[in-house]
């Protein structure tokens, strides 16, 4: 399946179509019009994206509506993520685990430490232990047995911009 995904992503037209479908569901003719290509060409590109599992098609009679399968895109990116094996003393915390891995940038703010970047990629991160949110901070979580820690960057799925104009005091 990985080969189909990379083949599907190997075309600027398909990448552009995928980006459009990530924003909105579209009918194949609307997708063709938006990208300045014929409907048969758009259908061929859509077929490649669909075969790779990156989009899905819903049929309403003869009408085909396409949408992006973002979860599939994220799963593929997760496969490319790095993995590390480390050993720590019982009672260590998550920050101790992070310090043992290169590429993790921590910053102290007041009395607390936060993950600022992973491999130079700044952002907001959350963590899970064995696939579950532990419900406590990284510095307070005590590692008592073998586990898998995953750090995930929060990325905006939808955006809302609010432009604020400040009015002068009366």
Residue 92 has pLDDT above 90, yes or no: yes
User: Are residues 41 and 68 part of one domain?
Assistant: yes
Mean pLDDT confidence for 82-111: 87
- List, for residues 109-156, the tens digit of each pLDDT value: 888 888 888 888 888 888 899 989 999 988 899 999 999 998 888 876
Give the pair of three-digit tokens for residue 141: 């979580």
On whether residue 168 sits in a domain, the answer given is no
Number of domains in the chain: 2
Q: What is the mean pLDDT of residues 3-17?
A: 89
Three-state DSSP state, 68? strand
The pLDDT of residue 40: 95
3-state secondary structure of 120: coil
> According to the model, what pLDDT value does residue 161 have?
76
Tell whether 6 and 69 lie within a shared domain: yes
Judge contact between 113 and 96, C-beta under 8 A: no
Given this model, what pLDDT does residue 56 score?
A: 94
- Write down the pLDDT at residue 158: 61
List C-alpha distances in Å: 35 to 60, 90, 130, 146, 157: 23, 56, 43, 51, 23
Looking at the fold, whether 7 and 70 belong to one and the same domain comes out as yes
Domain shared by 88 and 146, yes or no: yes
**CATH of residue 47:** 1.10.10.10
- Asked if residue 165 is part of any domain, the answer here is no
For residues 42 and 65, membership in a common domain is answered with yes
Task: Decide if 123 contacts 151 (C-beta within 8 A).
Answer: no
Instruction: At 142, list the tokens.
Output: 């005590």
Q: Does residue 60 belong to any structural domain of this protein?
A: yes
**Residue 140 maps to a domain:** yes
């Amino acid at each position: 399946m990985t080969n189909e995904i990379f083949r599907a992503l190997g075309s600027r037209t398909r990448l552009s179509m995928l980006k459009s479908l990530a924003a909105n569901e579209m009918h194949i003719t609307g997708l063709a019009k938006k990208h300045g290509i014929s409907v048969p060409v758009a259908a061929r590109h859509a077929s490649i994206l669909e075969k790779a599992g990156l989009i899905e098609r819903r049929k309403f009679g003869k009408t085909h509506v396409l949408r992006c399968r973002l979860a599939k895109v994220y799963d593929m990116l997760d496969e490319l993520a790095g993995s590390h094996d480390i050993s720590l003393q019982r009672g260590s915390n998550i920050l101790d685990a992070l310090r043992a891995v290169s590429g993790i940038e921590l910053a102290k703010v007041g009395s607390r430490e936060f993950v600022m970047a992973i491999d130079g990629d700044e952002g907001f991160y959350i963590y899970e232990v064995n696939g579950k949110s532990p419900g406590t901070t990284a510095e307070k979580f005590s590692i008592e047995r073998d586990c898998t820690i995953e750090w995930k960057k929060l990325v905006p799925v939808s955006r809302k911009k609010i432009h604020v104009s400040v009015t002068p005091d009366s």
